[in-house]
Every structure is written in structure tokens, then in C-alpha cells.
């Protein structure tokens, strides 16, 4: 699992330490990857800063997006059971 944030790496590191996250967080402070996925919410952050729209993706080992969950609100996230169901569906269709 990898998360991507528009926050500077120092901010992301403090956030991860505070919340106890143990997975990889990448800093995309210029919103290059975020923009490529169409997830930039211009002016949606504090004081009108640009932020990333919440989204979850399951991307296979070949780089193909197999599932995605996009939201319009920064407070809406996929429920863990939604992600696990999508993952289980991928395993079934891939014959794993």
C-alpha cells in the first residue's frame, strides 16, 4: 500500500508519526502524479491551497488499475470492506 499527498515530505512524516501509519507515504508537493490521475482539488484545502481528492486504487503488478473509488468530498473514504471485496474479486478473476 502506498499513499500520495500534496503535503511536503516533512509534513507527511510528522502526520504519519502522529497517527502511527506504517505504510509508505509519498510526497507529491507539485501534484504531478495527483494531477495525472485527475485528483487535484484546486483551492480545496486550508486557505485555498490545492489538495488531492480522496481516492483509492487497486493497481496490479503490471500497472493496470483494476479498481478505483473516487469521491467528491475530502471527508468521504472507502470503507475497508469495500476495498477488501474489490481485492477478493480481483483474486477470483485472476484465478489466484
User: DSSP state, 48?
Assistant: G
Measured CA angle at 65 (ends 6, 96), to 5 deg: 130
- Domain, as residue range, for 15: 2-93
pLDDT tens for 14-36 read 988 998 988 888 899 899 998 98
Cell reading at 23? 505504510
- Indicate which CATH number applies to the domain containing 22: 3.40.30.10
CA distance 59 to 77: 18
* Structural domains in the chain (count): 1
Percent of the chain scoring above 90 in pLDDT: 6
Amino acid at each position: 500500500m502506498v499513499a500520495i499527498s500534496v503535503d511536503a515530505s516533512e509534513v507527511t512524516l510528522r502526520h504519519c508519526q502522529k497517527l502511527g501509519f506504517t505504510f509508505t507515504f509519498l510526497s507529491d508537493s507539485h501534484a504531478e502524479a495527483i494531477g495525472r490521475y485527475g485528483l487535484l482539488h484546486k483551492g480545496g484545502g486550508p486557505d485555498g491551497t490545492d489538495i488531492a481528492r480522496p481516492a483509492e486504487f487497486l493497481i496490479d503488478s503490471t500497472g493496470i488499475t483494476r479498481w478505483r473509488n473516487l469521491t467528491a468530498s475530502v471527508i468521504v473514504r472507502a470503507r475497508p470492506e469495500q476495498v477488501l471485496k474489490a481485492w477478493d474479486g480481483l483474486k477470483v478473476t485472476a484465478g489466484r
